[in-house]
Protein backbone atom coordinates (compact mmCIF):
# COMPACT_ATOMS: atom_id res chain seq x y z
CA UNK A 1 0.00 0.00 0.00
CA UNK A 2 1.51 3.32 -1.07
CA UNK A 3 1.46 6.30 1.26
CA UNK A 4 0.05 9.50 -0.21
CA UNK A 5 1.55 12.70 1.11
CA UNK A 6 0.76 16.33 0.42
CA UNK A 7 2.96 18.42 -1.81
CA UNK A 8 5.09 20.98 0.05
CA UNK A 9 3.54 24.42 0.33
CA UNK A 10 6.75 26.41 -0.13
CA UNK A 11 5.47 28.03 -3.33
CA UNK A 12 2.38 29.41 -1.57
CA UNK A 13 2.14 33.13 -0.80
CA UNK A 14 1.11 32.25 2.80
CA UNK A 15 4.16 30.03 3.40
CA UNK A 16 6.85 31.47 5.66
CA UNK A 17 9.62 29.25 7.06
CA UNK A 18 7.38 26.19 7.31
CA UNK A 19 4.47 28.12 8.83
CA UNK A 20 1.14 29.24 7.41
CA UNK A 21 0.41 32.98 7.41
CA UNK A 22 -3.12 32.59 6.04
CA UNK A 23 -4.98 33.49 9.25
CA UNK A 24 -2.65 36.42 9.96
CA UNK A 25 -3.13 37.81 6.45
CA UNK A 26 -6.91 37.45 6.83
CA UNK A 27 -7.02 39.28 10.19
CA UNK A 28 -3.70 41.05 10.84
CA UNK A 29 -2.97 41.37 14.55
CA UNK A 30 -6.18 39.61 15.61
CA UNK A 31 -4.47 36.68 17.32
CA UNK A 32 -2.38 38.38 19.99
CA UNK A 33 -0.87 35.03 21.05
CA UNK A 34 1.21 35.12 17.85
CA UNK A 35 2.88 38.44 18.72
CA UNK A 36 6.57 38.36 19.62
CA UNK A 37 6.82 38.47 23.41
CA UNK A 38 10.23 40.16 23.30
CA UNK A 39 8.95 42.99 21.11
CA UNK A 40 5.85 43.37 23.29
CA UNK A 41 8.09 43.82 26.33
CA UNK A 42 10.22 46.40 24.53
CA UNK A 43 7.13 48.31 23.37
CA UNK A 44 5.94 48.54 26.97
CA UNK A 45 9.37 49.76 28.09
CA UNK A 46 9.52 52.35 25.30
CA UNK A 47 6.04 53.69 26.12
CA UNK A 48 7.06 54.00 29.77
CA UNK A 49 10.26 55.83 28.81
CA UNK A 50 8.41 58.28 26.55
CA UNK A 51 5.93 59.12 29.32
CA UNK A 52 8.82 59.73 31.73
CA UNK A 53 10.75 61.78 29.17
CA UNK A 54 7.76 64.04 28.61
CA UNK A 55 7.08 64.41 32.33
CA UNK A 56 10.69 65.35 33.09
CA UNK A 57 11.27 67.26 29.82
CA UNK A 58 14.35 65.19 28.94
CA UNK A 59 16.49 65.94 25.88
CA UNK A 60 16.71 63.54 22.94
CA UNK A 61 20.30 62.65 23.89
CA UNK A 62 19.31 61.70 27.43
CA UNK A 63 16.35 59.67 26.17
CA UNK A 64 18.59 57.81 23.70
CA UNK A 65 21.07 56.98 26.46
CA UNK A 66 18.28 55.80 28.77
CA UNK A 67 16.75 53.70 26.00
CA UNK A 68 20.06 51.97 25.28
CA UNK A 69 20.42 51.16 28.96
CA UNK A 70 16.86 49.85 29.18
CA UNK A 71 17.39 47.57 26.21
CA UNK A 72 20.42 46.09 27.97
CA UNK A 73 18.41 45.69 31.18
CA UNK A 74 15.48 44.17 29.29
CA UNK A 75 17.81 41.65 27.64
CA UNK A 76 19.03 40.51 31.06
CA UNK A 77 15.76 40.64 33.01
CA UNK A 78 13.36 39.19 30.44
CA UNK A 79 15.40 36.08 29.81
CA UNK A 80 14.98 36.74 26.11
CA UNK A 81 12.91 34.56 23.87
CA UNK A 82 11.28 31.59 25.55
CA UNK A 83 11.51 29.72 22.26
CA UNK A 84 15.29 30.18 22.23
CA UNK A 85 15.02 31.84 18.82
CA UNK A 86 17.27 34.84 19.50
CA UNK A 87 20.89 34.03 18.88
CA UNK A 88 23.67 36.49 19.65
CA UNK A 89 23.56 40.05 20.90
CA UNK A 90 23.97 41.60 17.47
CA UNK A 91 20.49 40.43 16.48
CA UNK A 92 18.67 41.59 19.62
CA UNK A 93 15.72 42.18 19.47
CA UNK A 94 15.49 41.10 15.84
CA UNK A 95 14.93 37.43 15.11
CA UNK A 96 14.98 35.24 12.03
CA UNK A 97 11.67 33.73 13.21
CA UNK A 98 10.01 37.14 13.26
CA UNK A 99 7.64 38.40 10.60
CA UNK A 100 6.60 42.00 11.23
CA UNK A 101 5.64 41.81 14.91
CA UNK A 102 4.60 38.16 15.03
CA UNK A 103 6.60 35.06 15.93
CA UNK A 104 6.49 32.50 13.14
CA UNK A 105 7.04 29.74 15.69
CA UNK A 106 3.59 30.54 17.12
CA UNK A 107 1.79 30.11 13.77
CA UNK A 108 0.37 26.77 12.66
CA UNK A 109 2.68 24.59 10.61
CA UNK A 110 2.16 24.65 6.86
CA UNK A 111 0.01 21.71 5.77
CA UNK A 112 1.50 21.76 2.28
CA UNK A 113 -0.62 22.33 -0.79
CA UNK A 114 -4.09 22.78 0.69
CA UNK A 115 -7.34 24.60 -0.09
CA UNK A 116 -5.74 27.89 1.07
CA UNK A 117 -2.83 27.51 -1.36
CA UNK A 118 -2.26 30.61 -3.47
CA UNK A 119 0.74 30.73 -5.81
CA UNK A 120 3.45 33.31 -5.10
CA UNK A 121 3.36 34.85 -8.59
CA UNK A 122 -0.35 35.51 -8.95
CA UNK A 123 -0.74 38.83 -10.78
CA UNK A 124 -4.14 39.43 -9.17
CA UNK A 125 -2.59 39.60 -5.68
CA UNK A 126 -3.03 43.01 -4.17
CA UNK A 127 -0.85 42.62 -1.07
Tens digit of pLDDT for each residue in 47-79?
999 999 999 999 999 999 999 888 888 777 766
Distance from C-alpha of 51 to C-alpha of 55, rounded to nearest angstrom:
6
pLDDT score, position 74: 76
Would the pTM of this model clear 0.85, i.e. be above it?
A: no
Residues 8-22 as b or e (16 or more Cβ within 10 Å = b) = ebeebbbbbeebbbb
In angstroms, what CA-CA distances link 16 with 13, 28, 35, 52, 104?
Answer: 8, 15, 15, 39, 8
Q: Mean pLDDT in the chain? A: 83
Check the CA dihedral 49-50-51-53 and report its sign: positive
Over residues 78-105, the mean pLDDT reads 72
Phi, psi of 22 (to 5 degrees): -50, -55
Percent of the chain with pLDDT over 70: 83
pLDDT score, position 37: 83
Amino acid sequence: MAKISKLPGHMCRFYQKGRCLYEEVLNPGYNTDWRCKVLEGLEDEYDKLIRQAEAFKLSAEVVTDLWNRRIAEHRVSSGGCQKDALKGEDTYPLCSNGHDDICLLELPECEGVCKKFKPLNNSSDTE
